[in-house]
Amino acid sequence: MRIFNQTLLLFGAIVLALLGQARLAHAETAAEIMSKNFVISKVSDSTSETTMILTNKSGKERVRKTFGTTKLQDNGIDNMRMTRFLEPTDVRGVVSLLVEQSKKDDDIWLYLPSLKKVRRLVSSNKKDSFVGTDFSYGDVIGHKVNEWEHVIVGEEEIDGFMCHIIESTPVDETVARNTGYSKRVGWIQKDNYVSRKAEMYNLSGALYKRMQFSKIELVEPDRNKWTAKELRAQNMITGHSTVIIVDKLEVGVGVKDSFFTTRYMESE
């Protein structure tokens, strides 16, 4: 009987140890969280109208208005994004087309009405400002998860929602150089993997940008896709800031492929 009890205890201990290991195995890694964060806002397709308010250190504002469409490619990861500028007058009619490529550099084309031509652009550089805003091209497209090493460094409540705090560092010098960041820190909402806040550090290690994402809505319930309708970014070095307001958003409306062609870009 004693041997039986000892055997039972040992068995119980092994089962508990295995269960503990299993629980540990199911605890999400930082990379898994970032992978979910990367796709959480990738709706099947969308049309939107957006206002961008750019404010310099002395409070002077510039305003851009755009009309845009997105459509997820067949692989379910890469997006096609078309953005047409409506205001101000000097950029009205400028159209950009970005076709994400998860296995290589993205493709970018730009139509400038003054040139009357579509021009293919170099896309490896993600650190340049997106049309003068405080968001870089990399920030707008999303930073590829496998190009960064991710670590959970804590948790914090943002706007009443518990968030993981995840620190991401570039896997190599090229990624750092192309994005202009030596480190990114993201506040990812625990229950839906949406970004609530982010901080970017420049190559010198100084805090470079701070971003906030609000008015977060479930926009495609059947695919569990969420979108922030107000995005703020501040350059902590220059004091310049940008607010992007999504004025109108329609998701899953059957956007045609023809939007993502040079033919559409050239339509005045």
Partner 1 sequence: MIPVINIAAIGRLLKLGVAFLVLLSLHTQTVKAQEEADPYTDEPSLFPDDVLSEGYEPETYWHTGLNNFGLTGSFRTGFWSSNRLNDKEQDIGTGSIWLKLDKRIMSGVSVYTEGYVRDQNLFGTSEEFDRIKEMYVHVRKGDWDYRVGRQIIAWGRTDRLNPTDNLTPRDFTLMSPEIDEDRFGTEAIKISRVFGMYSSLTGIWIPNFRPNELPPANIAGLQFSEVEPGGSNQYALKFDRSGSDIDWSLSYFTGFDLNADLSIVGQSGADVLVQKQYNRVKIMGTDLATIVGANRYALEVAYTRSEDESGIDPLTKNSFFHSVLGIERDFGDNLSGIMQLFYRYVEDHQDPRVLANAGQRAVASLNALANHQLDEDEYGLSVRIGKKWWNETLEGELSGSTLLERHGSLIRPKLTYSISDHLKATVGGEYFDGGPDTLFGLQKNNRTFFSEIRYFF
In the bound state with partner 1, the residue whose beta carbon lies nearer, of 188 and 200, is 200
Beta strand 79-87 with 45-55 is unpaired
CA distances from 101 to 175, 196, 230, 241 (A): 16, 26, 26, 29
> Applying CB under 8 A, does 202 fall inside the site for partner 1?
no
Alpha-helical runs (H) found in 62-202 = 137-141, 173-179
In the bound state with partner 1, the residue whose beta carbon lies nearer, of 32 and 247, is 247
DSSP state letters, 9-65: HHHHHHHHHHHHHHHHHHSPPHHHHHHHHHHTT--SEEEEEEEEEEE-TT--EEEEE
Provide the 10 A C-beta neighbour count for residue 211: 22
Cβ 201 to partner 1, closest distance in Å?
Answer: 16
Cβ 22 to partner 1, closest distance in Å?
Answer: 45
Cβ 21 to partner 1, closest distance in Å?
Answer: 44
Q: Which of 163, 178, 263 is nearest to 213 (CA)?
A: 163
Considering only residues 147 through 166, tell me which ones interact with partner 1, judged by CB under 8 A.
Answer: none
Task: Please pick, from the candidates 6, 206, 230, 237, the single residue that binds partner 1 as defined by CB under 8 A.
Answer: 230
> Applying CB under 8 A, does 31 fall inside the site for partner 1?
no
Give the footprint of partner 1 on this chain (CB under 8 A).
47, 49, 51, 53-54, 56, 60, 62-63, 65, 67, 84, 86-90, 92-93, 99, 105, 107, 109, 114-125, 127-129, 131-134, 177-178, 180, 215, 229-230, 238, 240, 243, 245-248, 253-264, 267-268
